[in-house]
Chains A and B, each alone.
Chain A
Amino acid sequence: MLLENYLMFVAASLAFLVTLGLALARALMGPTVYDRIAAINMFGTKTVLLIAVLAFLSGRMDLLDIALVYALINFIGVVAVLKLVVYGDFHSSGKDITKPVKVDQR
């Protein structure tokens, strides 16, 4: 690998680690539910990117597929969590937005 490429990937992975730390801090402090959900979403996204950079760093390109699957899991999980927080269950259709939405702001 070229030295410039290597340094670029190292810098990117360090930046991702810093972002992971910031997202972790927000998940620990986050006063409302939505801060924590945003933090976990950010955490999943940065894990995907970190795995992708690791794939290029170590030359194992099959890790890119794993990163894609992580992105899917992260998206579905966050949608499920949001639906549960807003409606309180999984079987509301979501059409009935005239009802007062139950959100507890902890």
Chain B
Amino acid sequence: MIDVVINVTLLAFLAITAVAIVRMTDLFAIIMLFGIFSFLSAAMFIVMDAVDVAFTEAAVGAGISTVLMLTTIALTKDHKEKQSGSHRPWLPLTVVLVTGAALVYGTLDIPAFGDLQAPAQMHVAPYYVERSFTETGVPNIVTAVLASYRGFDTLGEVVVIFTAGIAVLLLIGGRRRRSNAVGKEGEENDA
């Protein structure tokens, strides 16, 4: 019962935040709302028992991407483009509606949530459910799959993310050397 209340309230907050993000023009406020959106969806993932997804959502969505977007604003400055008068939303709206209808049509064939006979539950899932704890000693099955059975795969993902992080740091840190150089010149002039 209380699960339903929490789910409905969190989903309503998500909808409010999404509409506010679309309607607002202040970029800083939009980034703050992005962070709130990430925390809300992470809480929803927790309610749905997808702990690892929730953890990734909180770390990437609320932590890193908020900071990265704020850094981008600091590097590029916040200025608005004037909206041209001939803004016609009908073509994009039609495309979005058709795509959404196709996706909803696609969900009609999907087995019910938690269905025992679903193909996803029939293939290797019973093996993991029965043996993952005795084989790996990890209580959470998803964590056991990610960190033990597919450990090398996860290692590769970590390498990719680490490389991307280094690239982003190089891009953001590029300004520091220039400002330091300017500062040094200023000091020399003072001396």
> Which positions in A face B, CB cutoff 8 Å?
9-10, 13-14, 17, 20-21, 23-24, 27-28, 30, 33, 36-37, 39-40, 43-44, 47, 50-51, 54, 57-58, 60, 62-63, 66, 69-70, 73-74, 76-77, 80-81, 84-85, 88-91, 106
Instruction: Assess the A81–B6 pair: CB atoms within 8 A.
Output: no
Return the contact of B46 from the options A36, A63, A73, A81 (Cβ within 8 A). A63
The dominant DSSP class at the B interface is helix
Instruction: Assess the B70–A84 pair: CB atoms within 8 A.
Output: yes
Residue B100 at the chain A interface, CB threshold 8 Å: no
Return the contact of A21 from the options B5, B13, B71 (Cβ within 8 A). B13
Measured CA separation A13–B59 after assembly (Å): 23
Instruction: Assess the B2–A77 pair: CB atoms within 8 A.
Output: no
Return the contact of B67 from the options A43, A50, A69, A81 (Cβ within 8 A). A81
B66 CB, nearest partner CB in chain A, Å: 6
Interface residues of B in 41-68 (CB under 8 A from A): 42-43, 46-47, 49, 51, 54-55, 58-59, 62-63, 66-67
